[in-house]
Amino acid sequence: FPYSTRRGTPAATMPDHVPSNEIHRRKQVMADLDDLMARRFKESFLGETVPILFEERRAPGGDRLTGLSDRFLRVEASGPDALMNQIVPVTLDAVEGSVLRGRLVGSMTAP
């Protein structure tokens, strides 16, 4: 990760400094790995029905609500305003960017 080599700091006197371009390359490798692992984690929930606490509309006047699962995953699904601030069962169907897309279902099934 990038760090400061200001005069008077311990970093300024350390030997074998990594070149700036290599620091940024390594940082990008880690960011890409983080994105991949986050996507795979989200994909592991596809097909499952999970409880979602709907918090708000994705866009004013739109039909999509957004909320969080019990694992703090951001989920969107179409639904009425009456579902806001309610915990609702949603079947997770797709990963789109940083969110999971799902559909409302009738009731939660016991594990």
Residues 28 and 63 in one domain: no
Q: Cα dist. 83→23, 33, 41, 74 in Å?
A: 46, 35, 26, 16
Residues 65 and 82 in one domain: yes
Residues 96 and 65 in one domain: yes
Q: Strand pairing of 74-78 and 99-104?
A: parallel
Q: What is the DSSP letter of 11?
A: G
Asked whether residue 3 is domain-assigned, the answer is no
Residues 35 and 65 in one domain: no
8 Å CB contact between 64 and 76: yes
Residues 27 and 70 in one domain: no
The count of structural domains within the chain is 2
pTM above 0.85, yes or no: no
Residues 15 and 38 in one domain: yes
Asked whether residue 98 is domain-assigned, the answer is yes
Residues 98 and 63 in one domain: yes
| In the predicted structure, residue 108 carries a pLDDT above the cut 70 | no
Please state the rounded mean pLDDT for residues 91-106: 94
> How much helix, strand and coil, in percent to the nearest 5, is found in the chain?
30, 30, 40
pLDDT tens sequence across 49-98:
999 999 988 776 778 999 999 999 999 999 998 999 999 999 999 999 99
Full domain range(s) for residue 35: 10-43
Residues 57 and 86 in one domain: yes
CATH number for the domain including 96? Answer: 2.40.50
Position 111 scores a pLDDT of 45
